[in-house]
Amino acid sequence: MAVLLLSLADTSPVLVGFPDGARLHELAADIITNAFSADPSIDAIITDAIVDGVSRRRPGWSPTTVLTDPTELSLLAVRGDRAPLGGGALHERIAAARLLHAQRANVAHIPAPLLTSTREAVDGEAQSALDGFAAAHFDDANLVAAERPGTFRLRGDNSPAMTAVIPTAGTPGPDGSPMVEQAILAALSGSPAMSVIVVIGDEYPGEATFRDPRVSVVRRAPGPFNFSVAVNTGILHATTELVMLLNDDVSDGAAHPADLGWADQMAVHLQDPSVGLVGALLRYPNGSIQHAGIVLDDARPLHSFVGSAIDDLIHNHADVARDVIAVTGACMLIRRSDALAVGGFSTEFPLSFNDIDFCLKLRRMNRRVIIEPAASLTHHESASREAVAAPWEWDRYIDRWGHVEDPWYHPGHARPDDPRHLARNADHLDPDQVPFIAEPRGTAIRCRVHHSRIPDAG
């Protein structure tokens, strides 16, 4: 274990904990102290690292990742008067990080590799995590080992009651039956305590009848299909606090390992009152990734790792539950009370951007958004409607949220900016192309003016 004591200009102490055998960048002390001095609201700082010569880019501060992948906390700098850091051992850094979370502290991320370590040291940290969780009695976290060594997932002890809300226009699948039937089966497989509300409108052909007594049907207000109106109708009819929003073109729900249903795995995170929404890993029918969280790049919502294999998640340390700025409305678990508090889905976004808008409203209410890769569904993206955003919806979205920066989208990530394949804009740079960046980024939603909305002078 290693601890470095720094002093700010006002002589207040800063404690820096990092693995024994690792070394700090020659500018690390100056960069860290300058960041603390420049922003007195910063309580702690995390940074990137270089492991065996490979840059390990980290997203912004995520209290969930502290538990699911503790080695992401390889360097933690803390103001001595905010959350005392007892030492450099990983379980001591985790204890400090959990205290910071409990205090709703401002933890900034400096996207620069200020720490250099070896794979051997990281593996040692992983073992330290296993030993440290036991030594520090973190039983309340309900952690179990995940597939990648040194990582964890949260485990629930029960199946809370929840309601799946599935808006549908009754679009038929390849066999001629409504696609929503597969979505219902997927929902019911997610938890033994799941019930389903299917929301239909005037466009639904014929009668909507389902034999399973756990499934009910409600009708939204007359008029053209409006996803937000349909979702809000379902939320209002739900009688459970937990509500799962699902598209009608999802199927094949699964959780891994299989001791929890996929919906129950998501529900574990809502035991933390700071979490307001949980999304799932969605795959195309061929098994490649369709959704593993959303990033905002210059205000544009992009799916991370779209078209990639699961191994790409592992390679980028994105295979664990973690904070993100938003998730897709194709599958999200929420609290009914939170949805009512923010006014539900905005009917000003009838088809596009309503899910991003909802996530950002929850973020503005100091609720965190989590992606849980252990919960997985197949998503037949846009099978039930064409995914085309109207220009007026884009303008309305930018007017409302064009100022938002995404603290979990590393500035070193690639932005190919291919107008024909916008999804590629969320791809990642190769590690040897990552620039050295030393501007700290926190997890607060920061304001800026989107470049395409700046009015003409005069």
* pLDDT at res. 455: 37
Instruction: Give the integer Cα–Cα distance in Å for 276 and 334.
Output: 6
Structure tokens at 458: 């005069």
pLDDT tens across the length of the chain (458 residues): 678 888 888 878 999 988 888 899 999 999 999 999 999 999 999 999 988 888 888 889 999 998 899 888 889 999 987 777 766 778 788 888 888 998 899 999 998 999 998 888 777 777 766 666 655 544 555 788 888 888 888 888 789 999 999 999 888 887 878 899 999 999 999 999 999 999 998 888 877 778 899 999 999 998 888 999 999 999 999 999 999 999 999 998 665 554 679 999 999 999 999 999 999 999 999 999 999 999 887 788 888 888 888 888 888 888 999 999 999 999 999 999 999 999 999 999 998 999 999 999 999 999 999 999 999 999 987 655 555 677 888 889 998 998 888 889 887 765 555 656 655 555 555 555 667 776 677 776 654 444 333 333 33
Give pTM, 2 decimals.
0.90
Structure tokens at 103: 């205090």
Phi, psi of 258 (to 5 degrees): -90, 25
Burial-class residue 206 by CB neighbours within 10 Å (0-12, 13-18, 19+): exposed
Structure tokens at 174: 């390849």
* pLDDT at res. 456: 38
* pLDDT at res. 432: 54
Which amino acid is residue 59, in one-letter code?
A: P
List Cβ neighbours of 312 (8 Å cut-off, separation of 6 or more). Answer: 289, 305
* pLDDT at res. 449: 40
* pLDDT at res. 386: 55
- Angle at CA of residue 85, ends 79 and 91, nearest 5°: 140
Instruction: Give the integer Cα–Cα distance in Å for 440 and 48.
Output: 11
For the chain, the structural domain boundaries read: 2-147, 162-400
* pLDDT at res. 457: 35
First-to-final CA distance of the chain: 60
Dihedral angle at the C-alpha atoms of 94, 98, 100, 104, nearest 10 degrees? Answer: 150
Say whether domain 162-400 belongs to CATH 3.90.550.60: yes
* pLDDT at res. 426: 57
